[in-house]
Amino acid sequence: MVAVIGLGNMGMAMLRRLRELGVAVSAWDLDPAKRAAAAEAGARAPAALADAGAPVTVLSLPNEAAVGAVLAELLPVLPRDAVIADTSTLSPGAVRGFAAQAAAAGCAYLDAPVSGGPAGAAAGTLAMMVGGDAAALDRARPLLDRLAARLLHIGPSGAGQVAKLVNNLLVATHLVVAGEALRLGAAAGVAPEALLPVINGASGRSAATEVNWPRWILGGAFDSGFSAGLMRKDVRLAVALAGAVGAPLDATARAAAAWEALSAAVPDEADFNRLSAAIFEGEVA
C-alpha cells in the first residue's frame, strides 16, 4: 500500500499511474471532490487524513504550510520506519526541518521533487531528485521506480530541492529568453514556425524550444498542468536560496524579475507557458 497525499495535477496523475500498475493506493486531499475522484480511480479515500497514511507515503502539495499541516497530523500515526517521499517543490531549509521532525517520530522524510509534469507522472517517466537517507530511499525505491524513469539520489536532506530549484530557475529563464529571441526573429521577418525547427537542430535549443513552444504555445493549447503561480513560487525559492548561500544571480535574476513583473498579464492561475507567449507578443518586463 502506498499513500498519495495531495491530489492536484501531479498527485492525481501519480495515483492513476499507480492504479494502472495494480498498486493499492490510499489517498487524501483537503478537497472532498478530489477524494471522490480518487475513490472512483480505485483508491482507498478515507475522510480523515489520519487514516490515509501508509508505509510509503507520497506527498504532492503546493507549499510548505500544506506540508507542515499534513505532517503534523500524519507523523503521530504513521507506522515506525515509514518513508515519506515529498515530491512537492519547497525550500531546502524547510525540508531539512521536516526531515528532523520525521526522524523524531521514528519515520524517514525524503525530499523527492520531480520534473516532467502531469504527463510524466501519468506515464511513470518523471525525473525524481532525492535528498535524504539512502537506506530510506532503498525502502521506497520499488514504489518510486514506478513513478520515475530517473530516480537520482543527490545527497543529504535538502539536496533534492537544490537540484530542483536549479533546474526550475533554468526552465523559468529559458521560457523568458525563448519568448524574447523568437520575438526578435518575428520582428525581423522569420516566424517561430520557421525558426523552431532550425533552433532545435542547432545549439540554441532548450526544453523551452523543443517542448514548450511546439507542444503548448504554438498550437495555443496551454494545458500543461503547471501553473504560473507554482513556477513563480519555484523562482522565488531559487532566488531566496541564492541569497541564503551568497551566490549572486545576474541573468537569471533578470528572468526571475520578469516572472514577477508580468503577474498582471500572466496571473498565477494561468498555464506557465503563457509567460513565454506574452513576452513573444510584446510584453516587456
What amino acid positions are annotated as catalytic residues?
164
Secondary element (H or E) of residue 23 = none
Alpha helices in 117-158 (DSSP H): 117-123, 134-144
Smallest gap from residue 95 Cβ to ligand NAD (A)? 11
State the minimum distance, in angstroms, from the CB of residue 246 to ligand NAD.
Answer: 25
- Exposed, middle or buried by CB within 10 Å (0-12, 13-18, 19+), for 221? exposed
Q: Does 27 bind ligand NAD (CB under 6 A)?
A: no
C-alpha distances out from residue 160 to 79, 110, 124, 179, 183, Å:
24, 9, 19, 29, 35
> 73 CB contacts (<8 Å, ≥6 apart)?
49, 50
Cβ of residue 238: shortest distance to ligand NAD, in angstroms?
12
Helix (H, G, I), strand (E, B) or coil at 84: strand
Question: Measured from the CB atom, is 70 or 110 closer to ligand NAD?
Answer: 70
The radius of gyration of the chain's CA atoms, rounded to the nearest angstrom, is 20
66 near ligand NAD (CB under 6 A):
yes
Return d(Cα 49, Cα 57) in angstroms, integer. 12
Cα-based torsion angle of the residue sequence 242, 165, 96, 6 in order, rounded to the nearest 10 degrees: 140
Interface with ligand NAD: number of residues (CB under 6 A): 27
Question: Residue 130: helix, strand or coil by DSSP?
Answer: strand
User: CB 199 → ligand NAD: shortest distance, Å?
Assistant: 23
- Residue 94-123 contact track with ligand NAD, rule CB under 6 A, x = bound: --------------------xx-xx-----
Among the candidate windows 76-84, 140-148, 149-157, 225-233, which touches ligand NAD by CB under 6 A?
A: 225-233
Please identify which residue in 19, 20, 30, 285 interacts with ligand NAD, judged by CB under 6 A. 30
* Among 2, 3, 4, 6, interactor with ligand NAD by CB under 6 A: 6
Footprint on this chain of ligand NAD (rule: CB under 6 A):
5-11, 29-31, 34, 60-62, 66, 69-70, 87-89, 114-115, 117-118, 225-226, 230
